[in-house]
Amino acid sequence: MIHDQLRAEARCEQPEADADEHVYAAEPIQLDVTDPASVTAAAAEISDVTVVINNAGAANRSSLLADDLTDARALFETNFWGALTVTNAFAPALRANRGTVLNVLSVLSWLAIGDAYSATKAALWSATNTQRIKLAPDGVHVAALHLGYADTPMARDVDAPKLAADDVVRAAYDGIETGELEILADEISRQVKAGLAGPIEGLYPQLDRAST
C-alpha cells in the first residue's frame, strides 16, 4: 500500500538550557492515500493540523500509449487523486488554522519525458493552481515543490546526480516559511520552468524539424 505521513506540531517547549532552541513534539500518522476511509479517519484524529504535505508518490513505468491503461490509472490514483483526497479531508482544519498545503511535485510536472508519471505530476500541478485560488480567500497557503532526482528509495536505481533528502526538506520548509507558491529545489527545475516561456522545441529538441 502507498502511505503518506502527516506530521502535526502538537506543542512547542523551551528547554531551560537554551531559551533560543525549541523542541517540537510531532505525532506521525500513517495512512493509505488511495483509501478515502483511511484519510478521513486521519483527518478526524488530528483536527488541529496546520501543515499538510502531500508527498506520497508511486512510479510504475506505465505508458499513456499502452493498449491497457490499468497501470496508468493506478498511478493517477496515488499521485493525483490521493493528493486531492488528503487535501480535501484536511481542508476544514486548514481553513480554521489558516494553514499550508505543500504538494510535492517534480520537474517532470513540466517535462513529459516521464510518460504517465509526468502526466500525473502535470495534473497535480494544474490542480494545485485550482486549490490556490479556491483556498486563498480562507487564508490557506498552497505551495508546490519541484525537484529532479532526490536520494530516496524511489530513485535508488537511478544513475544520475541526486539531491540530498535533507536539502529538499530544507528548501521546502524555507519556502513554506516565506510564503512561496512555487518552490524550486534545484537548478534543473529552475531551468525547465524558465523554458516553459520559450518555444516547445526548447524543451523537446526531438520536435525541432529544422534539425531533422
Give the other-Cβ count within 10 Å of 116's Cβ: 24
- Do residues 66 and 72 make contact, with C-beta atoms less than 8 angstroms apart? yes
- Do residues 151 and 163 make contact, with C-beta atoms less than 8 angstroms apart? yes
C-alpha angle 100-35-103 in degrees, rounded to nearest 5: 25
Q: pTM higher than 0.75 for the full model?
A: yes
Q: For each of the chain's 212 residues, which pLDDT tens digit applies? A: 333 433 332 222 333 444 444 455 566 777 899 999 999 999 998 888 999 999 988 999 999 999 999 999 999 999 999 999 999 999 999 999 999 999 999 999 999 999 999 999 999 999 999 999 999 999 999 999 998 866 555 655 655 566 677 888 889 999 999 999 999 988 889 999 999 999 999 999 989 876 55
Please give the domain boundaries of the chain with CATH numbers for all domains. Answer: 3-211 (3.40.50.720)
Active site residues per annotation: 117
- Do residues 100 and 141 make contact, with C-beta atoms less than 8 angstroms apart? yes
DSSP sequence for 85-103: HHHHHHHHHHHHHT-EEEE
